[in-house]
Amino acid sequence: MKIVVYAISKNEANFVHRWMDSMSEADQVVVLDTGSADETADLLRSRGALVTVECIEPWRFDAARNRSLELVPEDADICVCTDLDEVFHPGWRQALEAAWLPNAGQARYRYTWSFQPDGREGVVFWCEKIHRRHGYRWVHPVHEVLQWEGPGCPGPMVTAFGVQLDHHPDPTKSRGQYLPLLELSVREAPDDDRNVHYLGREYLFYGRWDDCITTLKRHLSLPTATWADERAASMRYIGQAYLQKGQPDQARNWFLQAIAQAPHLREPWMEMAQLLYAQEDWEGVLYFTGGALAISDRPDTYICEAAAWGPLPHDLRCQAYYRTGRIQPALEEAQKALALAPADPRLAGNVELLSQM
């Protein structure tokens, strides 16, 4: 099979060599550079990439992705879309070929979107940006996704176990363009529930609490918004916005709705636990952290936050037990928290203090 990696780039010279090393298992690498002011294009060419320089005006991620896809040779069998701040683990090609089927449409693979300061994985989910050469196009100005536009039905989705892609972004790059592009995306497709959810979440990031609440309530009202995980996330974000507005009772109601909507997710349970921790309701903290920890299977979707799967549940339980005079279970929870973050000095201090007590 002929496997081609394709990407878009702009001012990413610092990432070129690491990225090209990672993509070297492909038969070819093609890049659309959208106007770098640094040496990105020249460095890519020096490493063997086929580079085309074009500006996309007005800027949209889907337009840039589609133009970069057009640069992929027609005889490619598999297209692999990555960004220059992403890195495959070695052996990805062999794992992909082992999973691919002759009639496959896309492949899903494990993707680590963020890392903790100590190097532990943060947000992890399964991504689907590997696809057959013909029949797919990117849609939406931002948070773009592949859409089948070929004849008939797309081929099946295969799961490429052993393909691992890590995201190591440049923290200095602004994401300021995301909000106007999301607003454009919702104007273009007002009934697309995914876009509305993302826009409401973006308003939360910007501290626009009322816009967040209004937009996410609209998301929940859409007839196509049926995915329980994403609905629960909208409810959690509404609760967070109400909490920022100084309305903890409203926040509590929305967190409880999120638990009822998706009881299989840790995140809503932890939202309630943290609210009750702030209110010093220690038995409530124990109840809701217990509900979170009863969930042992980590979801493979992007609705999965690192904190719920790190030391936080055990840390909150440790504090609740300590505040109610139960030293032995507090120590046990402190030890469990430290085992999940052994480099954390505060957690280590908790274990030492409780051991002495």
Element holding 53 (H helix, E strand): strand 50-53
**Which of 51-55, 167-171, 291-295 has the weakest average pLDDT?**
167-171
CATH for 178-299 is: 1.25.40.10
DSSP-derived secondary structure letter, 327: H
Instruction: Assign 68 a pLDDT band (cuts: 50, 70, 90).
Output: very high
Instruction: Assign 268 a pLDDT band (cuts: 50, 70, 90).
Output: very high
Phi, psi of 128 (to 5 degrees): -140, 45
Element holding 236 (H helix, E strand): helix 228-244
Q: Is 80 helix (H, G, I), strand (E, B) or coil?
A: strand
pLDDT at 117 over 90: no
pLDDT digits (tens, 9 = 90+) for 298-338: 988 888 889 999 999 999 999 999 999 999 999 999 999 99
pLDDT value of residue 83:
98
Instruction: Assign 145 a pLDDT band (cuts: 50, 70, 90).
Output: very high
pLDDT value of residue 174:
76
pLDDT value of residue 140:
97
Please give the average per-residue pLDDT across 99-127, as a whole number.
Answer: 94
pLDDT value of residue 100:
98
pLDDT at 56 over 90: yes
Q: Taking the domains of the chain in order of start, what are their residue ranges? A: 3-167, 178-299, 310-357
pLDDT value of residue 172:
82
Instruction: Assign 241 a pLDDT band (cuts: 50, 70, 90).
Output: very high
Element holding 241 (H helix, E strand): helix 228-244
**Which of 171-180, 333-342, 347-356 has the weakest average pLDDT?**
171-180
pLDDT digits (tens, 9 = 90+) for 70-89: 999 999 999 999 999 999 99
pLDDT value of residue 246:
98
Please give the average per-residue pLDDT across 225-249, as a whole number.
Answer: 98
First to last CA, the chain: 64
**What value does the mean pLDDT of the chain take?**
96
How far, in Å, CA of 80 to CA of 95, rounded?
A: 13
Q: Long-range contacts: 189-193, Cβ < 8 Å, 24+?
A: 189/140, 191/222, 191/224, 192/140, 192/224, 193/219, 193/222, 193/224, 193/225, 193/230
CATH architecture of 3-167: Alpha-Beta Complex (3.90)
pLDDT value of residue 202:
97
pLDDT value of residue 116:
87
pLDDT digits (tens, 9 = 90+) for 185-217: 999 999 999 999 999 999 999 999 999 999 999
pLDDT at 99 over 90: yes
